[in-house]
Amino acid sequence: MFLHSESPSESTPVRTMTLRLALLLLLLVNGVLLAANVGVFGPDVPSAWFESEREPERMRRQIRTENIRILEPAPAPGAAAPAAAPASTPAASATQTSIERAALSTANTAGTCTELGGLTDAQATRGVDQLKPLAGVEVERITRQEDSRWWVHMPARDTREDAERKVGELKRRNVGDSAIVQEGNGFVVSLGLFRDKERAQQRLDDLRAKDVRTAVLTETRRSAARTWLRVTASADAASTVATQLASLKKSLGADDLRACTASVTASR
C-alpha cells in the first residue's frame, strides 16, 4: 500500500487563493460599512443596524410632536360657560371712562349738611367769614320768622338819635349784634331775642362783663326774623366743618345746630 502526500509546491497556490478571498471579503465588508456611515444607504442606517429599539430614536419615530395639541379641560356638569370678553372699541372705552369719573365725582361730593340757626345778621356774617376759607364747603343764608320769649335790651330812648348814640357806646365796648327797635313812642336798643331763658341770661352776663350795666332781660312774646346758615360740606371736609360749626355755635351764641338735607343750590 502506497500513501500519497501533497508536496509543498502544490499547497502553496491553495493557501494563496484562500488569503486573497479573505482579503477581498474584508475589503468588501469595510466598503459597505464606510458607505453606510457616509449616508449612501440613507440617514441613521448605522443606528438602525446596531442600536436597540428601546433607544429614544424609536420613541421619536413613533410620536410625532408636531401633531400634538393641548386641549382645555372640559367644564364641570352644570357649570356655566365663561362669557366671551366683548371687543374693546374707542366708544366703549370713552363711555366707561365717563362712568368712572362720574362715580368718582359723586363719591367726592357726598358729604354732610348742617344748619346753624337762631343768628342775627351780624352773627351770620361772622359765621360765613369763618367758613368761607374752608375747602369743600358751601354756605347758604336762610331767613326764618321765629317766636322768641326772652328779650335782652337797653331801656327805651325818646329819640332815634339817642338810641343811635347808645349803639355807638356799645360798639366802643366791643358789644355787637344790636339793633334799634321802635316801641310805641320810644326806641329800644335790642341786644338779642332768645327762645331759652338760659341763653338770654348768658347774653346778659356777657354784657355785664363788658361793663354794660343798664341792659335788662324781659319776658315777651314776639316774632323775629332769625338767620340760619345751611352748611354743605364734602366728604373730605366733613370732619373739619363739624368741629368748626361746634365752635361757632358757642362763640356766636347760636340757638341750634342740627342736621339737614342739602339744597340743590347754595351761595357762599
Q: Per-residue DSSP letters for 137-206?
A: EEEEEEEEEEEEEEEEEPPPBSSHHHHHHHHHHHHHTT----EEEEETTEEEEEEEEESSHHHHHHHHHH
Strands (E) across 207-259 are located at 216-233, 256-259
Q: Residue 165 maps to which CATH number?
A: 3.30.70.1070
Do both 180 and 250 map to the same domain? Answer: yes
Strand order in the sheet with 186-194: 179-183, 186-194, 137-153, 216-233, 112-119, 256-259
Residues 70, 88: Cα–Cα separation, whole Å: 28
Do both 36 and 158 map to the same domain? Answer: no
Rg (CA), the chain: 56
Do both 22 and 132 map to the same domain? Answer: no
Indicate the burial class of 227 (C-beta count within 10 angstroms; 0-12, 13-18, 19 or more).
buried
**Residue 83 CA from chain centroid, whole number:** 28
The 10s digit of each residue's pLDDT in 69-105 is: 666 665 555 555 445 444 445 544 444 444 344 333 3
- Identify the domain containing residue 41 by its residue range: 16-56
In the DSSP assignment, the letter for residue 219 is: E
Do both 40 and 162 map to the same domain? Answer: no
Number of domains in the chain: 2
Cell numbers representing residue 65 in the block = 410632536
Number of H helices, E strands in the chain: 8, 6
Crossing angle (nearest 10°) for helices 238-252 and 121-131? 150
Mean pLDDT by 10 residues, the chain (268 residues): 51 79 86 73 56 55 61 57 48 45 41 86 88 90 83 92 93 87 90 84 91 90 82 90 89 84 48
Is 78 within a domain?
Answer: no
252 neighbors 192 (Cβ within 8 angstroms): no
Is 86 within a domain?
Answer: no
**Predicted TM-score (pTM) of this structure:** 0.42
Domain boundary among 56, 82, 104: 56
Residue length of the chain: 268
pLDDT at 215: 93
pLDDT at 57: 58
Cell numbers representing residue 240 in the block = 373739619
262 neighbors 109 (Cβ within 8 angstroms): no
Do both 167 and 47 map to the same domain? Answer: no
Nearest to 197, CA basis, from 223, 225, 220: 220
Do both 156 and 220 map to the same domain? Answer: yes
